[in-house]
Chains A and B, each alone.
Chain A
């Protein structure tokens, strides 16, 4: 699936969303949004909780991977390169503070951009290191879970009338296209950096989701 994803250029969100939706429908248990018969209906709060749980798991996996990578693989490496680390997702404008996050979290598009970039790109990026390749494999499973959960979220919100049908405010597709990245450094991103960036991005996703949840469904835990 990673190969298929890499070949698809992110032009618009909708087709990708549909693609993921097809993937999710085929693999995971059906989750209804419209309350159709024969499927399990979840409330919005439950949906948010489920998504947050998936993101938390993904973050824990990535941080474990990163720490193990540093412990077993990195000691022999040079630490100097760490200062110039660039995450592939650095171009995405994401809030770096609480106020910014609260302001920008309202926009789901930003969130989705971040999420997709976080999920898709690591899967598509080439792992030069065999260890990295082996480590990334479990990520894909949790990523698919997260993606599937995330796919339902906007649909339910759209059903509830919280968001408009069209997703606007997308960032430039070229910006999302890894192949169009002019820095040229994404290819050279080391495996260590990849894991580092992935850990950070998953943390971001989790935090954004929590902010969004407390804003939309603030009953419990906020």
Chain B
């Protein structure tokens, strides 16, 4: 049994391939006409696809017959249009005639007919793509635009009207994804606006007969749009101009109301509250009245504390040979105070570093005429030179050789409430720094005399007045050893010699030298200059009816006074002569200086209304 099965299997395995091979030969499969197209409505082509060939070589043939005619024709041309195609030439083509077309597949075993297809050439027209597509960039007042132009396909006869074509084009930026399509109708030219400046555009065109199929898109044409300013930017320019115009109008309006705007935005800094001070009166140029009105009976305020003001005490030795400025018309007015005590422990020397001096010496308060304050403008920044605060300064001897100028220092602390008292014992003393030189009249104004932050109100001196309405000045030379920088003189930080007119002596500890020991009688002395050896040259000032000792009252409360000694002319000779001989007034000065008193410093820095300019 088993043998038989094996034998059958063997035979079957041998026979089956042969049989199977024979079974692969069948009549061909059914072909199928895929499409018929006419490019020009004068010829047309039909294509078909073959079915299975049945294992045998298969031939295809196409047959057709026209409507209302039984005559069957075969395809005249199988090769022109390629494989599996049939091309109908102009002679075989009739328009408005129905063609019934059939394809037959034939092989050795049989044939197979395809389904017939009715074709009217009029409705199967598909032209070629438009030709000569040109794209150009043209300029317009609104900007550049594209002009696309083309020609109909050469095969389609549009000239005689046989075929009527309508066109369509599409545009996009090279990097864009979506095409922008436009119908152009029958025209052969089209304009595209609203371009992106500097972009690269692609353009394609296609066409279609009035009853037919669209052609293929033409090959893309590239065009680069030059850069230009788009219209929107000109609109922004217009908006900017308009805004500028509005801004100008607003500025004009604000300018008209300048004062009120300024008052609103920059509220005025409150000025000094000097009781009784009348600025307008001062501007009129009558300082006497101004100063008189400042006289306050309640001076000195003993309760106020002026920490930032220094009280400087000077011990001044007056040299009768001091030279006075030629201008010193006020010199006559200057009163000299005679020191009460001619001698002290520091006889002949102005030493201001001793607290005890204050008590012993009388401070010479120099008072000046108000008229001397009529030249505040001298203070204004002249480079490297101290301005003369007042006319009275002009009386002072020329600047020492080492100093650039005289500096008038107003009392750092000025209390408007200082009022003169009957006490004549006002002094001020300049507290000398510890290291003050030992020159004869050498004193140094310690740097704490002048507040670092404040600008010294040279020009404010008109507003300063003591209770007496008088200003006292003295000059203090700064010993080089101290190296003190007087900050209030911004330009002379290292002034070797600085002449200061220290109006008031500051208290040593308290800022303002408001209080003055009222128990001293003093004379007012003006420090005119400091000579090379840091010697203070003083000249007494005469008071004008005002109690010269009122000033002293100011100093009364100051704990320290600057004692200076007035010497007779003999002593004055000890001072180096001034550079300029101004001996004319030395005499009276010298005389006056005999009563030199300590200077007092009091006062305060008034930074209002304007900042100092130096």
Partner-B contacts on A (CB < 8 A): 56, 59, 63, 82-86, 90, 94, 96-98, 101-102, 200, 203-204, 206-207, 210-215, 221-222
A-B CB proximity, top 10 nearest:
A214-B161, A210-B161, A211-B161, A96-B94, A98-B162, A221-B186, A96-B95, A222-B161, A214-B160, A200-B96
Annotate B83-120 by CB proximity to A: 1 below 8 A, 0 otherwise: 00000001001111110100000000000000000101
- Nearest B-chain residue to A209, judged by Cβ: B161
Whole-angstrom CA separation of A43 from B157 in the bound complex: 26
Partner-A contacts on B (CB < 8 A): 41-42, 67-68, 90, 93-98, 100, 118, 120, 122, 157-162, 164, 186, 210-211
Q: Which residues of A contact B162 (CB under 8 A)?
A: 98, 101-102, 207, 210-211
Closest approach, in angstroms, between the C-beta of A144 and any C-beta of chain B? 23
- Nearest A-chain residue to B95, judged by Cβ: A96
Asked if B100 and A83 sit within 8 Å, CB to CB, the answer is: yes
Whole-angstrom CA separation of A39 from B98 in the bound complex: 45
Whole-angstrom CA separation of A83 from B90 in the bound complex: 23
Whole-angstrom CA separation of A63 from B210 in the bound complex: 13
Which single member of A82, A96, A212 contacts B97 (CB below 8 Å)? A96
Other than the given A203-B96, A207-B162, A222-B159, 10 more pairs (CB < 8 A) read A63-B211, A83-B68, A85-B68, A96-B97, A97-B90, A98-B95, A102-B160, A200-B122, A213-B161, A222-B158
Q: Given A56-B210, A221-B186, does the pair A86, B161 have CB atoms closer than 8 Å?
A: no
Q: Given A83-B100, A200-B96, A221-B164, does the pair A98, B186 have CB atoms closer than 8 Å?
A: no
Asked if A84 and B160 sit within 8 Å, CB to CB, the answer is: no
Asked if A203 and B67 sit within 8 Å, CB to CB, the answer is: no
Whole-angstrom CA separation of A102 from B162 in the bound complex: 9
Asked if A85 and B158 sit within 8 Å, CB to CB, the answer is: no
Asked if A97 and B210 sit within 8 Å, CB to CB, the answer is: no
Asked if B160 and A211 sit within 8 Å, CB to CB, the answer is: yes
Asked if B96 and A98 sit within 8 Å, CB to CB, the answer is: no
Q: Given A85-B98, A200-B96, A203-B96, does the pair A90, B161 have CB atoms closer than 8 Å?
A: no
Asked if A98 and B160 sit within 8 Å, CB to CB, the answer is: yes
Asked if B157 and A98 sit within 8 Å, CB to CB, the answer is: yes
Whole-angstrom CA separation of A94 from B96 in the bound complex: 10
A-B contact pairs, 13 of them (CB 8 A): A86-B68, A96-B94, A96-B96, A97-B94, A98-B42, A98-B160, A101-B162, A102-B160, A200-B96, A203-B211, A204-B96, A213-B161, A214-B161
Q: Which residues of A contact B98 (CB under 8 A)?
A: 82, 85
Whole-angstrom CA separation of A212 from B162 in the bound complex: 10
Q: Which residues of A contact B67 (CB under 8 A)?
A: 83, 85
Q: Which residues of B contact A200 (CB under 8 A)?
A: 96, 120, 122
Q: Which residues of B contact A102 (CB under 8 A)?
A: 160, 162
Q: Which residues of B contact A96 (CB under 8 A)?
A: 94-97
Q: Which residues of B contact A97 (CB under 8 A)?
A: 42, 90, 93-95
Asked if B159 and A214 sit within 8 Å, CB to CB, the answer is: yes
Whole-angstrom CA separation of A56 from B158 in the bound complex: 17
Q: Which residues of B contact A222 (CB under 8 A)?
A: 158-161
Which of B94, B97, B157, B211 has most chain A Cβ within 10 Å? B211
Asked if A82 and B160 sit within 8 Å, CB to CB, the answer is: no
